[in-house]
Amino acid sequence: MKLKHAINLHKGATAFLVIALMFFYNNFSINAFVYLALHGCYGFMWLFKDRVFPDRQWEEKVSVPYAALAFFSLGLYWIAPVYIICNHVEPQALIIGAAVALNVLGTLLHFGSDAQKHYTLLNKRGLITDGFFARCRNTNYLGELMIYCGFGLLTASWVGFIGITLFFVFVFIPNMLKKDKSLSRYPEFAEYKKRSGLILPKLW
């Protein structure tokens, strides 16, 4: 099976998990619904993205045990909703606003850069150094980091950042460094690297 099947199952199941938690813990608070709206919609948007402009790296064929491991590893991202709903967490309005803002901006960067990469490479292979990637070599990872940090904020606790921290250290960073190594085969990469950041935009 393809790795994306495990990922898509997790993304699509998130909204249903959150709804089940809300009923189980009888928690229909504003924060619970905000989390459901943000993370649930993100999961469905991911499925839409996979249909319209899929990421080739998730097309890799893997064994069923490996796919199961990937699915349960992604379960780390469910720590936040479980913590929020079972503990009836109610953060301040400022925190909720910041979480929504991070989610909106992160979604723009994540999905926008993935779309640019997909459609650019359909027409021309090579190094992408403009648009979303003009000042940042991994705008998609930056966007995803912002999205999950937004989810973490809604927990009003360090607990909400466990999943994204582990994925950032053990998945995001290795993938970004691997990508840099692959792109170094292009003669223009050295100059591009000087004017762009690995994950944070280099603005000067």
Query: What single-letter DSSP state applies at residue 134?
Result: S
> Where do the H-state alpha helices sit in 25-137?
30-52, 64-74, 79-86, 93-123
So where are the chain's domains? 3-194
For residue 204, what pLDDT band results from cuts at 50, 70 and 90?
confident
CA distance readout (Å), 78 to 18, 83, 93:
9, 9, 22
Chain Cα centroid distance, residue 200: 15
Write down the pTM of the prediction: 0.96
Mean pLDDT, to the nearest integer, of 26-33?
98
Length of the chain: 204
User: What 3-state class would DSSP assign to 111?
Assistant: helix
Closest residue by Cα to residue 91 from 38, 29, 19, 24: 29
Euclidean distance between CA atoms 201 and 204, whole angstroms: 9
Angle at 159 between CA 155 and CA 161, to 5 degrees: 85
Over residues 173-190, the pLDDT tens digits come to 999 999 999 999 999 999
Euclidean distance between CA atoms 196 and 190, whole angstroms: 10
Over residues 49-62, the pLDDT tens digits come to 999 999 988 999 99
Mean pLDDT of the chain: 97
Q: Is the CATH number 1.10.3470 carried by domain 3-194? A: no
> Residue 170 burial by CB count (10 A; 0-12/13-18/19+): exposed, middle or buried?
exposed
Closest residue by Cα to residue 101 from 93, 112, 90: 93
pLDDT, residue 174, reads 97
